[in-house]
């Protein structure tokens, strides 16, 4: 009996899943809108929301935490998150992203667009 397994595995082991979600998070921060499968978008949403909440604090420890979660040695995406994205949501308490379902597409999967709320 497996208790507390409420995460989607996305048909990957833990290291592959972590790398996939990190890459999706970096792409979402860089492009501010990405098209992916519905399951990946739903799994990515809570992670991005937490990163934006940390970025709203704009402290050194928050920058280090976000950088480690994204696995970004370059810091360009971290800089964009702290300087452009987080200030837009300073008066908003959560709900920074939106998932728009595109439905069942020709590759045979449910696709969605995840983007930041304007």
**Arithmetic mean of pLDDT, 35-44:** 97
| Phi, psi angles (nearest 5°) of residue 4 | 70, 25
Cα-to-chain-centroid distance, residue 87: 17
Instruction: Count Cβ atoms within 10 A of the Cβ of residue 44 and give its class: 0-12 exposed, 13-18 middle, 19 or more buried.
Output: buried
Res. 115 pLDDT band, cuts 50 70 90: very high
Per-residue pLDDT tens over the stretch 64-113: 999 999 997 778 999 999 999 999 999 999 999 999 999 999 889 999 99
Residue 24, pLDDT score:
97
Residue 1, pLDDT score:
80
CATH dotted code for 35-116: 3.90.1030.10
Residue 4, pLDDT score:
84
What does the domain layout of the chain look like in residue ranges?
35-116
- Nearest-10 Cα torsion for 30, 33, 39, 40: -10
């Amino acid at each position: 009996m497996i208790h507390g397994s409420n995460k989607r595995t996305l048909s990957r082991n833990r290291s592959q899943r972590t790398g996939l979600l990190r890459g999706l998070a970096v792409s979402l921060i860089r492009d501010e809108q990405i098209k992916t499968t519905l399951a990946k978008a739903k799994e990515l949403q809570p992670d991005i929301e937490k990163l934006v909440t940390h970025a709203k604090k704009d402290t050194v420890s928050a920058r280090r935490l976000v950088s480690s979660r994204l696995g970004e040695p370059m810091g360009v995406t971290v800089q964009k998150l702290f300087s452009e994205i987080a200030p837009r949501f300073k008066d908003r308490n959560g709900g920074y992203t939106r998932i728009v379902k595109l439905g069942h597409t020709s590759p045979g999967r449910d696709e969605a667009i995840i983007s930041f709320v304007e």
